[in-house]
Amino acid sequence: MLKKREKIKTPEKCFFCEEAKTPDYKDYKTLKKCLSDRAKILSAARTGVCSKHQRGLSKEIKRARNLGLLPFTQSI
């Protein structure tokens, strides 16, 4: 018998809006929370980030990757 997928509980509000700040490539520890275990960018539905901050978040993650602060792929 097949099991139904369990829905992952996401935060109700955007944590960037709550703290009144924007995503920044220099704050790589915060950006790392929005990456999967294989270093893929998680969707806004999984992280609970609003669409405005999700666009900025993906841009800043890509910038941090190019500077070498975040990995492009999973580290072995």
Tokens encoding 29:
């520890």
Q: Which CATH architecture has domain 15-67?
A: Irregular (4.10)
pLDDT exceeds 90 at position 67: yes
State residue 18's pLDDT score: 93
- What pLDDT is recorded for position 40? 94
Note the helical H segments in 5-47. 15-18, 28-32, 44-47
Q: What rounded mean pLDDT belongs to the chain?
A: 88
DSSP-assigned letter for residue 39: S
User: Do residues 47 and 34 lie in contact, with contact meaning Cβ atoms separated by under 8 Å?
Assistant: yes
Sketch the domain layout of the chain as residue ranges.
15-67
**In this structure, are residues 41 and 61 in contact, taking their beta carbons and an 8 Å threshold?**
yes
Would you place residue 13 in the very low, low, confident or very high pLDDT band (cuts 50, 70, 90)? confident
What's the CA gap between 24 and 42, in Å, rounded? 17
What tens digit of pLDDT does each residue of 19-65 get? Answer: 999 999 999 999 999 999 999 999 998 999 999 999 999 999 999 99
